[in-house]
Chain A
Amino acid sequence: MQRIPFGPTRFRKLLPPLAFFALLFCTRPASAALGGDVASIAADQALLAASVSIVRAERYTMHELAAATGTKVREYLDSEGKVFAVTWQGPFRPNLRQLLGSYYETFLKAADSRMSRGPLNISLPGLVIHMSGHQRAFYGRAYAADRVPQGLSTDEIH
């Protein structure tokens, strides 16, 4: 199903300097999380009305956003500050268009061809997604497989 993207795409391309200010002042930012940079996390934080804690590990930095709804979103950044993985856990799903960013349409296409009614598992060359749970208990994990730092086990993304 075709959905309306966040904001006018052409503005994102033509006016990159404005994007920074958009993130500061808007709750509907132009950039999104997976594949985005640290600024996109600030946008997610605003959207979720979340508090943030930061964990630094050898191969990544993890920002944990604790939303007031009780849902926890974690975003994993590589040494260049790019988000290579996101996870969520809690009573409500986060906004997937926001969190999956440029991967959202790929997710929709892959979900459309799934074979089961149960957890969703998508395994594409550049994208691995798991979603599960039921009403008021949702879990999910998505990572850009080709952006996971070398030497990092994907088990550490949770």
Chain B
Amino acid sequence: MRGHRLRRTGLACASAALLCLGAACSDSSGAAPNHIAALADNVAEVTVDPGLPLIGYVNGLFATVTVCVPGTSDCQSIDHVLVDTGSSGLRLLGSELTIALPAWTDDSSGLPLAECTQFVDSYIWGSLRSADIKIAGEQASNLAVQVVDESTYPVPNDCTGKSADTAKDLGANGIVGVGTLVQDCGAACAASLSSGNPGLYYTCASASTGGCQAAAVPTAKQVSNPVAFFTQDNNGTIIELPAVPAAGAPSVTGSLVFGIGTRDNNVLAGAKVIRLDEYGTFLTQYPTPNGRYAMSFVDSGSNGIYFLDSSTTRIPACRGQLSSFYCPASEMNLSAKGQDVNGVVTVKVNFSIANPGILLTNSTISALDNLGGPSISPSSGDIGMYFDWGLPFYFGRNVFTAITGQSTPGGIGPFVAF
């Protein structure tokens, strides 16, 4: 998850956008439409829609997640939880939670744990609770959930960036991180505070300022990708979304499938496996073969395809309210290649970039597959050496995400396949 939602102004336009109805759609390359799995024990419905009232989210992928007091039937289902392959772990707005989940405590001190979760320019703060997490027919028992809330414990001074702790700032009722990582932090947060611990986890002795102090927390107690803790289908996910017409769509429905090669409905089949490094990155060639961007990543929580800058791509950026995006005169059909971390497998990726001005004139559009924007000049050393393949990459493709260390018929994670 990165940054904030797209805000829109202006009046809704009366013209209806073309609906893309599943198999009737095809992507710009003319390839056969992707198959969307029917709902099943291991398949949850996901939607791309405007999100919570007054949010107007563009390219936000949402699911409904159920949490229960561990071992009981005291449960609550929460809709519009953002599905994010760029992070790991379930985080829910405290303001939405009506059941009393028990505190998740530090083993040595017995104190409640809290976390400052880092995103690109923002943070999520809140205490940890214990819950059984259910999505479709799958369950992870007694796992840590972050309850997003700045009122129970004050935000520590070291928790920096912009707050994403409200429905307005988050644009969703929560985030479910189903990325390649098992834990959100890993070994670093288990290390002693004086030797490389980034200090993201806290024990909270009181609700007064300074009542929460950074603490080392073993990986087993960290906020984790719930999929890795399902009793079955726990080696990864597939996000299956239909293609979207060039003019966008008011909403799109697809499937979040659990497991890779564990059932008939989640086989890799012809998908090509792009192995990732431990940070979830791979190499993008654009233009092929000489433009090489080794820190690229796939992230369903990014709402566009973000890459390079206008002087490199020769695609002008929009002005004014849409200045985060590219604004070509007409839709551009582009092609890149993804290359796995071993330099062995390359996969062609067709994508399109168009002027997103329709977002200002038609407020019913929430899915736009040709939304993209500049990141930074690739001349700026390592910092600019990436493509951020956001949600538009997922439209019309079945994208597999294999969890680190889990074995699949395509090898051990982490990898993406499509």
Contacts from A to B (Cβ < 8 Å)? 1, 3-4, 6, 49, 67-71, 87, 89, 91-93, 95-98, 104, 107-108, 111-112, 114-121, 130-141, 154-155, 157-158
Contacts and interface: CB of A to CB of B under 8 A. Distances in A.
Contacts of A1: 162-163
B380 A120 contact: no
Contacts of B324: 114-116, 118, 121
Interface in B106-165: 118-122, 155, 157-158, 160-163
B200 A92 contact: yes
Determine the interface band of chain B, counting residues with CB < 8 A from chain A: 35 or more
A112 B168 CA distance: 11
Contacts of A141: 376, 380, 383
B30 interface: no
Contacts of B157: 3-4, 6, 97
B374 A117 contact: no
A79 B184 CA distance: 41
Nearest to A94: B160
B301 A117 contact: yes
Nearest to B303: A117
A93 B280 CA distance: 16
Interface stretch (B190-198, B257-265, B327-335, B347-355): B190-198
A134 B6 contact: no
Given A111-B162, A121-B324, A155-B377, A92 B188 contact: yes
Contacts of B122: 111
B3 interface: yes
A130 to B, nearest CB: 5
B280 A131 contact: no
A91 B162 contact: no
Contacts of B188: 69-70, 91-92
B3 A137 contact: no
A93 B118 contact: yes
Contact of B374 (A6, A68, A121, A140): A121
Interface of B: 1-7, 59-60, 86-88, 118-122, 155, 157-158, 160-163, 177, 179, 181, 184-186, 188, 194-198, 200, 209, 279-281, 295, 297, 299, 301-304, 306, 321-325, 373-377, 379-384, 386, 388, 390
Contacts of B196: 49, 67-70
A115 B7 contact: yes
Given A93-B161, A95-B160, A69 B198 contact: yes
Contacts of A112: 4, 162
Given A69-B198, A96-B160, A111-B122, A136 B303 contact: no
A119 B376 contact: yes
A116 B186 contact: no
Contact of A132 (B120, B162, B200, B379): B120
Contacts of A130: 375-376, 380, 383-384
B135 to A, nearest CB: 20
Contact of A116 (B6, B160, B177, B384): B6
B303 A116 contact: yes
A89 B382 contact: yes
Nearest to B150: A1
A111 B118 CA distance: 15
B278 to A, nearest CB: 8
| From A6, A49, A114, A134, residue with most partner B Cβ within 10 Å | A134
B376 A132 contact: yes
A132 B386 contact: yes
Closest 9 CB pairs of A and B: A158-B381, A68-B196, A116-B324, A134-B86, A92-B198, A155-B379, A137-B279, A96-B160, A135-B87
Contacts of B5: 117
Contacts of B120: 119-120, 131-134, 138
| From B3, B119, B184, residue with most partner A Cβ within 10 Å | B3
Given A117-B60, A132-B376, 13 more contacts: A1-B163, A69-B196, A92-B200, A107-B121, A114-B3, A115-B324, A117-B390, A118-B304, A120-B3, A131-B120, A134-B86, A134-B179, A141-B380
Given A132-B375, A134-B297, A136-B279, A117 B302 contact: yes
A135 B184 contact: yes
B331 to A, nearest CB: 19
